[in-house]
Amino acid sequence: MKRRLSALLAALLLTASMPIVSLAQEPAPAAEAGKAPGAAPESGRGAEAAEAGSAGTEHATPHYPLKKPPHMSWSFAGPFGHWDLGQLQRGLKIYKEVCSACHSMNLVSFRNLTALGYSDAQVRALAAEYQVTDPAPNAQGEMFQRPGIPADRLPAPFPNPEAAAAALGGAHPPDLSLIAKARAVERGFPYFVFDIFTQYAEGGPDYIHGLLTGYGQTPPEHTTIAPGTHYNPYFISGPALAMAQPLTDGQVTFDDGAPQTVDQYARDVAAFLMWAAEPHLVARKATGFVVMIFLIGFAVMLYLVKKRIWAATPH
């Protein structure tokens, strides 16, 4: 038995040493002209250089947006917030003159604009500036165009999403009716804890403002920008987007003396889009504040009643 184990161990040792012996007996390659003996061939040196380069340029997976939008100050923020009607009217003007060329607002009617401080006559005049397709056919069974009325929705620049994508190089611009509620960057811990008490709901406007003012920056090293796209570190889905910079200084004229800058344009249109997404935001916050005060008072009253009822009962 011992002899069999010794023979088996010797065979295993011989088999394990065979590759080492063969490698040791392998002849060395001939030295190339002008190179020292034992120098690595070009293919080997290229592989080593590539490995060294990849090790030096290795980066972690980026998380978008590359920059979080700055926290802005809004009139409608907090439990005592209110709408700045002048700002909302300027934002509507920016949408009409700039954004409406590509983006729709299919959920906003002309009659809703009375909440921005416009009279019924002004809303009717604004709606009449547009030609809309009547939802019902005429007596001949044909669809027809007519001037808009307050009950109509804001007209879209394209008849359908496919037409919009075909006209804009394959990119379909999103509808802006709810964009201020649909786009927001997570604030993370511990900010979301404080947001419960501050009633923070301005993530969408912050993001819109950051996106509109984030153009024109130099992409970081090793960031690939696809042809036909534009770098923007605040874009939530990647390093670049198909939409070119939409706003420039002096592009829209204000009648109330507000600054005609990209930053002001971005603030105003972001506030307008927040109103469009949640027109009852201010009323909701005011109601919630009153309810919280009532619940606190009711809890105090219940505690005092409990103390009164059980005061004579021994514990």
Tell me whether residue 90 is exposed, middle or buried, using C-beta atoms within 10 angstroms of its C-beta: 0 to 12, 13 to 18, 19 or more.
Answer: buried
Residue corresponding to tokens 């950051």: 210
Is 72 annotated to bind ligand?
no
Query: Which residue type is seen at 125?
Result: A
Phi, psi of 207 (to 5 degrees): -65, -45
Residue corresponding to tokens 């109509």: 152
CA distance linking residue 197 with residue 163, whole number of Å: 45
CA distance linking residue 191 with residue 71, whole number of Å: 12
Is 301 annotated to bind ligand?
no
Is 209 annotated to bind ligand?
no
Contact 232, 64 (CB under 8 A): no
| Residue 277 structure tokens | 């997404």
Residue corresponding to tokens 């404080």: 194
Is 143 annotated to bind ligand?
no
Closest CA to 233 of 24, 102, 35, 63: 63
CA distance linking residue 204 with residue 274, whole number of Å: 7
Q: How many CB atoms lie within 10 A of CB 33?
A: 5
SS3 state of residue 82 = coil
Contacts 24+ apart (CB under 8 A), 142-148: 148/110
Residue corresponding to tokens 């969408």: 204
Instruction: Please report, in range form, the residues annotated as the binding site for heme c.
Output: 99, 102-103, 243
Q: Which parts are annotated binding residues?
A: 99, 102-103, 243
